[in-house]
Amino acid sequence: MLHGSGPGTTGSGAWATTAQALGASWRLVAPDQAGFGRTPVPAGSRGGLRLWTEQAAGLMDALGIEHYAVVGHSMGGAVALALAAARPQQVTRVVAVSTMGAPGAPLSADLDAVWAAPAGPIGARDMLSRLVLDQALVTDSAVEARATAMRAGEAAFASLFPPPRARWVDELTLSAQTLAAVRAPALLMHGAKDRVTPLETTAQPLLDHLADVRLHVFGRCGHVPSIEHPQEFRQLLSCFLHPDRGH
């Protein structure tokens, strides 16, 4: 399970509610990608799609897991699709949530603001308010927790997406050739009101490039369906990854 790119994001933090609900019957691997949480960017590297993809593949190799599904959110969705293209014999299914990576997708004003958010309560509140549609989810406790995480990762994050930031969206773009190499069935999940990675410029174009793909759109939902519609999100995820269980 691969997290997104907002400052203060970690693997465990991004997938906590999903993992708590699914963890008893699943083996979940939710790493901090390079530059986030406890995983540093290797010396001489800046991070980026290739590094994150190689690290994810290497982690699963190190764990001895031969076949696996991969789930990614936002930036992690692009990494998930790249991993599925790079390891077609190992990736059995791929889920890209509020994903980046679509050819031609521009940098949205809200993603630019998220990447630029200053560490601290003001930046955390502004960022969270852009991520979700229902502002009641932007609680004081959520702001405090994110502000703490942003401060902890401030130095590492500063090196990942410096301005001008449109180039980093381009760096995360997957070529038509890469997308054509994805052999695993793919599920795209997206919020209808996502301002960070708008549905029309991110998920919908991927429908023309992936061989075996379906799209689920959450109504009245922003950038984080796993938090905004947790029960529906988990049900869709379970049904797609284990259709034989007959949900």
**Residues β-bridged to residue 97:** 73, 189
CB 189 within 8 A of CB 183: no
- Among residues 5, 32, 194, 229, the one annotated as catalytic is 194
CB 22 within 8 A of CB 28: yes
74 is annotated as an active-site residue:
yes
**Cα Rg for the chain, rounded, in angstroms?**
17
CB atoms within 10 A of CB 159: 12
Cα–Cα distance measured from residue 92 to residue 154, given in angstroms and rounded to the nearest whole number: 35
Position of tokens 């309560």?
A: 121
194 is annotated as an active-site residue:
yes
| Those residues with Cβ within 8 angstroms of residue 230's Cβ, 6 or more apart along the chain or in another chain | 17, 18, 21
Residue 24 burial (C-beta neighbours within 10 Å; 0-12, 13-18, 19+): exposed
Short-list 109, 94, 74, CA closest to 4: 74
- Among residues 73, 190, 209, 223, the one annotated as catalytic is 223
- Among residues 5, 32, 73, 74, the one annotated as catalytic is 74
Active site members: 74, 194, 223
